[in-house]
Amino acid sequence: MGRVKRRSCAPSRPRPGSYYRETRLDASLGSDILVPWPCCSPTMEPGSMENLSIVYQSSDFLVVNKHWDLRIDSKTWRETLTLQKQLRHHFPELADPDTCYGFRFCHQLDFSTSGALCVALNKAAAGSAYKCFKERRVTKAYLALVRGHVQESQVTINYAIGRNSTEGRTHTMCIEGTHGCENPKPSLTELLVLEHGLYAGDPVSKVLLKPLTGRTHQLRVHCSALGHPIVGDLTYGQAEGQEDHPFRMMLHAFYLRIPTQAECVEACTPDPFLPALDACWSPNTCVQPLEQLIQALRTDPDPDPMGGGPRPCSPSTPQPRPGRPPPETEAQRASCLQWLSEWTLEPDN
């Protein structure tokens, strides 16, 4: 049987029924053969108007499983497909004419990132989610495939992140001490290793990432600074021209919890980084099971902003409403808006 060289895992936008080219060194088989994709999973299909996935729904909130390479909204006419257009298509009755895009997105995800994204369906719900972000009571966890085998099972990444002022890189962020790094702010990420394996023949680790602060591109910058950039990250990944194997950036917003006073918005999206969904990913060593970490995420108590200690988040039990808080000052509101703006992620070039 002929020896098979490491294959490129297909074009950047695989479609159902498409093929990739595999090179064999056995002359009897020919130099190149076309091989059909091993699966046509929706996980690997490009976004479309129809493939909108809802993972949580109530009268006040939706949580969608955003597709990779999809903008949340855009005023540019060239953007024929955005998340807000998908929502208008599937839920025209929920669109609010008083908003710019019809829907109130409670936070942001990069164009290249997939996963859980919360949408408030009315002004009061948006205000309650805004309050949770302001008080830093939101829990987020991401799944990622990163280059190399991370040796420690758990790493706390503590690099301050600022904006890169270097010519040609002004759309990116960088860690403190980098040439051209402006206004770096403290940034903290917890990384837990799930599996070691290979992606298209290269060593890769599957990790769970918990951002404890909310800086622009934080997870991507921190993984790159650690020496383990996210697979498929064209901005912070390998040198230009080398990051050509994956069909997407391997970063996925896996878990989200927003403990508002009226309800606990909690959603866990399907894991997209499975061999059954992407034959290029081949795990060989389990470091810690994802199921245990999911359980820990769900049972971790939420901090109580009123100073009464931890308060568990229970979606089935509405939280008692405290007395009316004092009105927010202009300075407090400006500070909150500044913090929330740090979740707004600029599109990648």
Over its C-alpha atoms, the chain yields an Rg (Å, rounded) of 21
Q: Are 53 and 68 in contact (CB under 8 A)?
A: no
CA dihedral 208, 212, 217, 223 (to 10 degrees): -50
- Return the SS3 of 85: helix
Tokens of 98: 């008083």
Largest CA distance in the chain: 80
Both tokens of 228, joined, read: 């383990």
- Report the distance separating Cα 95 and Cα 86, nearest Å: 11
Instruction: Specify whether the CB–CB gap between 178 and 164 falls below 8 A.
Output: yes
Write the burial class of residue 129 (CB in 10 Å: 0-12 exposed, 13-18 middle, 19+ buried). Answer: buried
In angstroms, the CA 166 to CA 228 distance is 23
State both tokens at 246. Answer: 């994956």
The tokens 């100073």 sit on which residue? 307
Nearest to 109 by CA among 152, 40, 63: 63
3-class state of residue 161 by DSSP: strand
The tokens for 273 are 């980084």
Active site residues: 110
